[in-house]
Each structure stands twice: as C-alpha cells, then as structure tokens.
Amino acid sequence: MELFFAAETQWRTAIAGTRFVYLGLHYASAAVAFGYLGLAPTPEEFALLQLMEREVTAAVAERP
C-alpha cells in the first residue's frame, strides 16, 4: 500500500468525450516519488502495485 499511496499523484489521464479517464500510472514519475521517499520496490511489490493499478482503472472505468 505504501507504494500505491506514494504514486497516487502520478496517474496518466485523458479526456474521452465528456469523461475523465485514468489510463494508468506514469512509472517514470512514480519512480521519482519512490526515490524521494526512500522506497525501493522489489519485483514482487511492483507486481502488486500493478495489480492495484489495474483494479483502480477497471473500477473507475465502470463509473457512470
């Protein structure tokens, strides 16, 4: 969770018609945020971050 919250301001977004769409995390910017916070994710932690990212983008896409 610490990685997810560290990257919470690093989302790629777009406008699709009248909707605001979350495309996914901007990994280069997230890596900078991790570095500032002294975080060095393991491959397993990064995989969990990606899982959370997919779940969020799917949940947001279902909103009316």
Q: Note the pLDDT tens digit of each residue in 7-48.
A: 999 999 999 888 889 999 999 999 999 999 999 999 999 999
Could you give the C-alpha distances from 47 to 16, 52, 60, in angstroms and in order? 28, 9, 20
Residue 15 neighbours by CB distance under 10 Å: 8
Number of structural domains (the chain) is 1
Nearest Cα to 57, choosing from 3, 6, 11?
A: 11
CB 10 within 8 A of CB 30: yes
Report whether pLDDT(50) > 90: yes
Element housing 49 (H / E): helix 43-61
What pLDDT is attached to residue 5? 94
Residue 64 has pLDDT above 80, yes or no: no
Other CB atoms within 10 A of residue 50 CB: 13
pLDDT at 49: 96
Enclosing domain of residue 29: 2-61
pLDDT, greater one: 50 or 61: 50
